[in-house]
Amino acid sequence: MNVSSRFDVAGFGVIVTGGASGLGLAYGEVLAAHGARVTLIDVDADALAEHTARLQSEGLDVRGTVADVSDHAALDRAIDEAADLYGRLDVAFANAGIDSGSGFVGGWAGGDRPRIEDGALERYTDERWNRVIEVNLTGIFVTARAAVRHMRPRGFGRIVVTTSLAASKVEPAIGSAYMTAKAGARHLMHTLALELAAYGITANAIAPGFFVTNIGGGHAHDPDLQAAVAREIPMHRVGRPDDIKALALFLASPASEYITGQEIVIDGGWGLGIAD
């Protein structure tokens, strides 16, 4: 039995929050490359313009819309406009996220990870906590809410949430609000999946480990940091956006129609422990 047709997303209407860089851009690229019509939503107007122009020059149906997921009215408008333009909304990647600043230890790997006073609990401000929760958790709720308004009447939809290995594994180099938001996003995905299953809408999550993206000021681009982290990953390398594209296509396509409420970790085995 040839199942390749089950991965067909040609003509699908797709939105991606946080779509101008990193994993969000990778989601948009792979869906557009397979014939979907994609709207990238991001706060970075310059990056949006650059990448939409590049993808359009490759003959792909991609557009960019500037919106902050913490501006709920603006996000609603962006999603509604995409659905109206396409006449449908099939897939919503709830991906936008921000870094939460330093954690209580310095360094991502190795045995010498000093305590960082700026990341200590008693120095964690309300402003820092609230901003991370608003973008990384509430932003997913608002994205899903807006998308389902278009999906439920059609009896079809895919919601794909970007969580993190940090949803289940405490990483002390990251501020605690990040882990809290990602764990909340995972359980929100479970709630969405249970409510929406009867309407032909699935909700699943992709949980990346250490990937080379621009989040946190782009620290992951540092070759020395990559090498240090890779020593603790069983596959002995860090992840890159291309590694996540096939999984994104699968979860967005009819191939995954009987899968809902699942978080798929993609981390090279990092969460399992150190092997050698």
Q: Where are the alpha helices (DSSP H) in the chain?
A: 22-33, 45-57, 72-86, 126-133, 139-151, 176-196, 223-230, 245-252
Crossing angle for the helix pair 176-196 and 126-133, to the nearest 10 degrees = 30
Residues 6+ apart with CB under 8 A from 7: 34, 249, 250, 253, 254, 255
153, 135 Cβ separation under 8 angstroms: no
Q: Are 82 and 13 in contact (CB under 8 A)?
A: yes
Six token digits for residue 69: 């997921």
Active centre residues (catalytic): 178
Contact partners, residue 213, CB within 8 Å, separation at least 6: 21, 22, 23, 220, 241
Cβ of 221: how many Cβ atoms within 10 Å?
11
Both tokens assigned to 184: 């909340």
Judged on CB neighbours under 10 Å (0-12, 13-18, 19+), 17 is buried
